[in-house]
Structure 1
């Protein structure tokens, strides 16, 4: 029995959760990248969240071939879907994974090995390589998160943006940490930012490995390209932690970054954000954003 317990602890069960929504073009490669992991003790839960494209048919074919747990539901959003899946997940490590992204073959094995003997680490992440909608590796400008060095983050590192944060496409969450914070917040649609902050606030570290463990797909419907969605949900997430002494400054710094980011893309949104920033909080990003706004 002792040998058996040793084997289990050396190869803990990892539950990978893929919530799929209208990603028919990408879902097969995403699922196959999990099936083809070098690490074998994986429980794969796939949930189609009310897709209206060909995703359900593709998933049925994949399920018949590989035998993973597949469920279909009316659309309820990612955070609620993840929480439902976590309730029935059996793994001690949980990996929420995008239905448009691709894992490198040794991703799970690498992160499991790293997490061993580090109960203080609630989340393990890694670097990403960015690919386009056709799977081509994108140019150097899009690869800013490919060669970042290892870093350990606590809550203030993340909340105050003192170090580059973890990549959503590479998150591995300790089940104990998830349980401690009550899972994802179903009222916040930017689920990764919330869960990272919540787990770090609970006293865990987030360790980001300095190697590429996933390909992140850049395509027209990426969440980060919806400016209003990003602004509203990041600020809604920060509000959960409003008791932090630098809460107001954090929100203003974020707004300044968004002014600069969207000045050329969404002038209406940029003006709305700018109106919410008192002059005392203006910085170089604000001024550069204003210049872009009036000159473009």
Structure 2
């Protein structure tokens, strides 16, 4: 088949100090069964040996490589989207892995569905050594197909999509102005922005990516997650559900931080009016009083 008749997919990998993982990530894109791919790789000011490794890989595989001073992920993605030639865009973590059929599966689904701005899928979890985590720790493998609109995402009414599986229709990204550089929790913001603009997000039941768990995963940084979740939800404060959603997040973050970051937990608790207390608030209080900070 002539690949030029297929939609062009641009994969954007922005890497920062991921020399340990980046080669495996890039090769997982190179080895896709879908071959009409534009691969843009940006080193965003790494201080490890990423630049040397990326330069070596670029000579072997011929992808587009840009070395720059650190700009942050949102700005880097926006600039890459502006120069991307693909009709579909995949921002991909520099520590994750695409399964070989990933792009083939997503393109086969999304191509004739203009109402779908985001196509995603399920994923498996791996460790720092690329080994699958035990079956009991796999959380995103068997979730069935779901179509989400803005309220589904905002209110967390259905299982959402994982960043490691997201494919965007480029016109949807452009319609919302891309990523917000002031918000560093990129995936949640862009899913809300695109569904708020009227597109659907369809999540396929297929396992299409491997998400790597390691000590520096963003979601483990609780102050970062709390601050940027607040900023994200504030962008949609015109929603009648804004306060409900914000307080639900605050209660969840309070519970998570109560035994891990007591100062953060106390700060969050002050922001939760008594009328929004629930079982998580009570459990968090017990942890705050009786547990030791790890």
TM-score range, shorter chain: over 0.9
- Partners of 2:62 and 2:192 lie apart in 1 by 35
For residues 145-176 of structure 1, the C-alpha deviation after alignment (integer angstroms, 9 at most, x for no partner) is 12111111000000011111111001000011
The answer to whether 1:175 aligns with 2:170 is yes
Tell me the equivalent position of 1:279. Answer: 274
The answer to whether 1:90 aligns with 2:85 is yes
- Partners of 2:261 and 2:139 lie apart in 1 by 23
Q: 1:210 aligns with which of 199, 202, 205?
A: 205
Tell me the equivalent position of 1:197. Answer: 192
State the 1:288 CA deviation: 1.2
The answer to whether 1:58 aligns with 2:53 is yes
State the 1:95 CA deviation: 0.2
* Residue 101 to residue 188, structure 1, CA distance change in 2 (3 Å): same
Aligned residue for 2:92, secondary structure, equals: strand
Tell me the equivalent position of 2:180. Answer: 185
Any gaps of 5 or more consecutive residues in structure 1? none
Equivalences, count: 291
Tell me the equivalent position of 1:266. Answer: 261
Tell me the equivalent position of 2:142. Answer: 147
Any gaps of 5 or more consecutive residues in structure 2? none
Alignment RMSD: 1.3
Residues 176 and 194, structure 2, Cα contact 8 Å, conserved in 1: yes
The answer to whether 1:166 aligns with 2:161 is yes
- Partners of 1:234 and 1:73 lie apart in 2 by 28
- Partners of 2:58 and 2:160 lie apart in 1 by 34
- Partners of 1:259 and 1:140 lie apart in 2 by 29
The answer to whether 1:80 aligns with 2:75 is yes
- Partners of 1:196 and 1:43 lie apart in 2 by 23
* Residue 139 to residue 265, structure 1, CA distance change in 2 (3 Å): farther
Large movers: runs of 4+ above 3 Å: none
TM, length-normalised to structure 1: 0.96
Aligned residue for 2:124, secondary structure, equals: strand
State the 1:8 CA deviation: 5.0
